[in-house]
Amino acid sequence: MSTTPSRREVLRRIGFTALAAGPGAGLLAACATGRSAGPVASTSAAPTSAANPLGVDAARQLEVVIFSGGNGDGYATDLHEALYSKAYKTAKIKHVPTQKVGTQLRPRFISGDAPDVVNNSGPDALDLQSLVAEGHLADLTPLFDAPSLVDPAKKVRDTLVGGVYENSLIDGVPRVLQYTVAHRALWYNAKLFAKRGWQVPKTWAEFNALGEEAKKAGIALFAYPGQVGPFYQLWNLVYSAAKIGGNKVIVDIDNLADGAWKAEPVRQAVAAWAQVQRDFGDKAYFGLDHTQTQVKHLQDKVLFYPCGSWLENEMAKDRPDSFEYAIAPVPSITAVDAMPYEAIMIGVSEAFFVAAKGKNPQGGLEYLRMMLSREGARGYTEMTKNLTVVNGVVDGLDLTSAVRSAAKAQEAAGTNIITDARFEGWYKELFDHGQVQTNSVMSGRITPEQFCANMQKKADELKADSAIAKQTRSV
């Protein structure tokens, strides 16, 4: 059992004075990796010192691969890479933006041509377990134990939100840095609600009643993209199930516990959302990708959209003045939900790792340390409108409506925080299967009971496969 402070307590330390203020996903998945065929580059470190605790070779090139999704990649080129270049003026930086992390990098890891730092995010993320099995993920212990650039008197680990180190562990070793604090729930236009005099629904009955009102106005109560982004709704199903049955629902799913996907809270959550889609959804959204659906949301053609804290920044160029992002918890689905209406999912996300067999692993660790500096973290929040896992660096920032709304929702939740599901990073095959099943159940091709059975079958297959490393959690 973890003895660290509650997530609520540590998140309050992020830097808000009046207010209290994702896993990155899988890796070499669909193909067997085989042992690296190419030569492994020399990774000898330079002598360590107080000024260079990680032993960085100041002249060695650093290659950084960034997922250019909702947060873009400007924060890397203009901020983090700039910080590295300022410190190591003779080091060249090779910047690689991509929206297809797995597709682009699998061949490189297999051939022995790994980049140094990878932002492993998006729907095509690499399978972390497969990379670990092949020895590709560097041990981040030197990073967590290095002097912090926020306060050199402290180790890096002591400047971070609680849960960051725990979420970095794979087989008991820190391998992945989750960089942002994420709020995942339902997003809506606060200005539209104020204009029409609508109240944010707190119960499922109120949610359905609002759906009828919205239908009269030609607005869909809810939509999610069937192309590219079905995992948004898969998250929504899992976190809704936790609201009904408590966080044990998620812990059991992550632990591949017998019958976890067939548990009644899961069935109830899936049935509830399938009903909303059937009664108030528009199947045309199944053919749209996430950004196309999010434009419809900005046009007030959709009331609620399930997504994470990156949404506002992702749509900044398209957002009209008439739209003000606000976040709402999922309405209470049953009268006896284990968690109150105010419960909301708050976790860490946006995975970064250093390639153990890259040409410059020491530089990769130093790059992450710079990301976790005051300038690196505060600047990231300014540029992307997302909070990082570094404590106490955002005081005085002019926060956006979405961030203020998320902070208010977090304040209302108190200790009722829905934990982050980890099977996405632990078992990518299960997560990918879940996206297919989510599309099937939301489109009415299978029943909620079939969804649960199909997910349980896949989970059982993975559990029985001795070739797959198993992970466990207690909370």
In a domain, 296, yes or no: yes
Establish if 170 belongs to a structural domain. Answer: yes
* Chain centre distance of CA 381: 16
Q: 295 and 437 share a domain?
A: yes
Specify the number of domains making up the chain.
2
CA dist 12 and 153 (Å) reads: 22
Tell me the residue range of the domain where 446 lies.
Answer: 183-346+421-464
Number of Cβ within a 10 Å radius of residue 181? 28
**Could you tell me if 132 and 166 lie in one domain?**
yes
334 with 361, same domain? Answer: no
Tokens of residue 105, six digits:
């990098």
149/164 same-domain check: yes
Residues 47, 195, single domain; the answer is no
DSSP structural state of residue 155: B
pLDDT score at 425: 86
Q: What are phi and psi of 242, to 5 degrees?
A: -65, -35
5 domain-assigned:
no
Instruction: Dump pLDDT digits (tens) for 325-366.
Output: 999 999 999 999 999 999 999 888 899 999 999 999 999 999
pLDDT value for 263: 98
DSSP output for 228-292: S-HHHHHHHHHHHHHHHH-THHHHHHHTT-TTGGGSHHHHHHHHHHHHHHHHH--GGGGGS-HHH
In angstroms, the CA 24 to CA 161 distance is 17
Domain for residue 413, yes or no?
no
Lowest mean pLDDT among 26-30, 157-161, 327-331, 467-471: 26-30
> Is a pLDDT exceeding 60 seen at residue 28?
no
Answer yes or no: is pLDDT of 23 > 70.
no
**8, pLDDT greater than 70:** no
Indicate whether 341 and 355 sit together in one domain. Answer: no
Single pTM value for the model = 0.73
DSSP labels, 312-358 = HHHTTTT--TT--EEEEPPPB-STT-SS-TT-EEEEEEEEEEEBTTS
Asked whether residue 81 is domain-assigned, the answer is yes
Q: Parallel, antiparallel, or unpaired: how do β-strands 173-174 and 169-170 relate? A: antiparallel
